[in-house]
Amino acid sequence: MFNSHYALMKEFASRLSVSGREHDFSNDLKAWMKPFADTVSTDAMGNLLLVKKTAVLDAPRLLLTAHMDQVGFMVTHIENNGYIRLSPVGSVNPIAYSNIPVKFSRGSKGILVAETNCKPEEMKPNKLYADIGTISLKETEKYVQVGDVCAIDVPLMKLKGSRIAGAALDNKASCAIIYKIAQLLSAEEALPFEVGFAFTVQEEVGCRGSKTIAYSFAPSYALNFDVTPCYDTIGSIPGNVRLGKGAAIKIRDNTVIVCKTIVDSLEQTAKEESIPIQREIIASGGSDTGVLQLTRQGVAAGSLSLPCRHIHTGTETIDSKDFDAIVQLALAWIMKGKVFEFESLG
Amino acid sequence: MQIENFFSLCEVFGPAGEEKGVFQWMEKELSGHGVSITYDKVGNMHLYKPGKKPPPNKVLFTAHADEVSLMIQSADEMGFLLFGGNQSLTSRFAGNMMPTAICGKRLVVGKNHIPGVVCIKPISLQSEAEKNKPPFIDEMRLDIGAKTKEEALSLCPIGSLAIFDSDSYSFGNGRIKAKAVDDRIGCYLITEYCKQNLPFDFHAAILVQEELGCRGAHVAAYIQQPDIAVVLDATTAGDVGQVSGMQCVTVQGEGGVISYIDGGTIYDYALTQKAFALARENGIKAQVKRMATGANDAKSIQRSGVGVRVISLSLPTRYIHSSACVAQLKDMEAMEKMIPLLHNQFAEE
Reduced to 3 states, what is the DSSP secondary structure of residue A56?
coil
Across B51-55, B73-77, B164-168, least confident range: B73-77
pLDDT(B324) > 60:
yes
Instruction: Tell me how far apart the alpha carbons of residues B128 and B33 are, in angstroms, rounded to a whole number.
Output: 60
State which of A127, A152, A177 marks the end of a domain: A152
Name which residue leads in pLDDT, B346 or A1. B346
Answer whether residue A345 shows pLDDT above 60: no
Whether chain B has a CB inside 8 Å of the CB on A44: the answer is: yes
Whether residue A108 is found in the same domain as residue A248: no
Q: Is A304 a domain residue?
A: yes
CB A312 within 8 A of CB A228: no
pLDDT at B1 over 50: yes
**Range with the lowest mean pLDDT among A331-335, B88-92, B160-164, B224-228?**
B88-92
Count of the separate structural domains present in chain A: 2
Same domain for A98 and A174, yes or no, is no
Q: What is the mean pLDDT of chain A?
A: 94
Residues A193 and A331 in one domain: yes
pLDDT > 60? residue B79: yes
Interchain CB contact of B245 with A (< 8 Å):
yes
Do A84 and A196 lie in one domain? The reply is: no
The whole-number pLDDT of residue B94 equals 63
Which residue of the set A22, A79, A189, A203 is catalytic? A203
- Tell me how far CA of residue B192 lies from CA of B5, B21, B30, in angstroms: 11, 18, 9
Instruction: Find out whether A98 and A86 touch, Cβ atoms under 8 Å.
Output: no
Confidence check: pLDDT of A221 > 60:
yes
Q: What is the CATH number of the domain that holds A49?
A: 3.40.630.10
Burial class (CB in 10 A: 0-12, 13-18, 19+), B280: exposed
Nearest neighbour of B307 by CB, restricted to A44, A85, A87: A44
Please tell me the predicted confidence (pLDDT) of residue A342.
61
Q: Is residue A238 in a domain?
A: yes
- Please write the tens of the pLDDT for every residue from A1-52: 788 999 999 999 999 999 999 999 999 999 999 999 999 999 999 999 999 9
What pLDDT shows up at residue A88? 96
For residues A84 and A58, membership in a common domain is answered with no
Average pLDDT over residues B69-75: 91
Domain of A80, in residue numbers:
72-152
- A203 phi, psi to nearest 5 deg: -70, -40
Examine the pLDDT at A346 and tell me if it is beyond 60. no
A174 plus A277 within the same structural domain: yes
pLDDT (tens digit per residue) in A226-284: 999 999 999 999 999 999 999 999 999 988 999 898 999 999 999 999 999 999 999 78
Q: Is B187 helix (H, G, I), strand (E, B) or coil?
A: helix
Q: What is the CATH number of the domain that holds A130?
A: 2.40.30.40
Report the distance separating Cα A335 and Cα A79, nearest Å. 56
Q: Say yes or no: B292 contacts chain A, CB-CB below 8 A.
A: yes
Does the pLDDT at position A72 exceed 50? yes
pLDDT band of B85, cuts 50, 70, 90: low
Q: State the DSSP H helix or E strand holding residue A232, giving kind and residue range, or none if neither.
A: none
Instruction: Compute the C-alpha angle B131/B135/B140, nearest 5°.
Output: 120
Residue A237 lies in a domain: yes
Q: Are residues A125 and A41 part of one domain?
A: no
Same domain? A307 vs A172 = yes
A333 in a structural domain: yes
From the number of C-beta atoms within 10 Å of its C-beta (0-12, 13-18, 19+), residue A123 rates as middle
Looking at the DSSP bridge assignments, the partners of residue B115 are: B108
Angle at A232 between CA A231 and CA A238, to 5 degrees: 45
Q: What is the mean pLDDT of residues A126-131?
A: 94
DSSP B91-105: -TTTBB--HHHHTT-
Q: What is the pLDDT of residue A344?
A: 46
Question: B317 φ, ψ to 5°?
Answer: -125, 120
H-helix or E-strand containing B348? none
Res. B91: pLDDT tops 60: no
* C-beta of residue A304 within 8 angstroms of C-beta of residue A247: yes
- The answer as to whether A158 is a domain residue is no
Same domain, residue pair A198 and A323: yes
β-bridge mates for residue A194, sequence order: A61
Whether residue A41 is contained in a domain is answered as yes
Pick B246's closest partner by Cβ from A44, A77, A147: A77
Contact call for B302 and A47, based on CB within 8 A = no
Which of A121, A152, A183 corresponds to the end of one domain?
Answer: A152
A26 and A145 share a domain?
Answer: no
Structural domain contains residue A301: yes
- Given A119, A152, A185, the domain boundary residue is A152
Pair A54, A110 in one domain: no
More confident residue, B254 or B137: B254
Sign of CA dihedral A314, A315, A316, A320: positive
pLDDT tens-digit series, residues B9-35: 999 999 999 999 999 999 999 999 999
Domain annotation for chain B: domains and CATH numbers:
3-68+166-347 (3.40.630.10), 73-159 (2.40.30.40)
pLDDT at residue number A285: 83
B62 near B53, Cβ under 8 Å? no
The kind and range of the H/E element at B31 are none
Mean pLDDT for chain B?
A: 94
Residue A51 resides in a domain: yes
Q: Is B218 on the interface with A (CB under 8 A)?
A: no
Give percent of chain B with pLDDT exceeding 90. 84
**Among A9-23, B126-140, B142-156, which stretch is predicted with the lowest mean pLDDT?**
B126-140
Q: State yes or no: pLDDT of A291 exceeds 50.
A: yes
C-alpha torsion angle, residues B87, B91, B95, B100 (rounded to 10): 110
Based on the residue annotation, tell me whether A203 is a catalytic residue of this protein. Answer: yes
On whether both A63 and A197 belong to a single domain, the answer is yes
Going from the C-alpha of A181 to that of each of A204, A263, A333, the distances in angstroms are 23, 19, 11
- With a cut of 60, say whether residue A224 has pLDDT above it: yes
Backbone angles phi, psi at A328, to 5 degrees: -65, -40
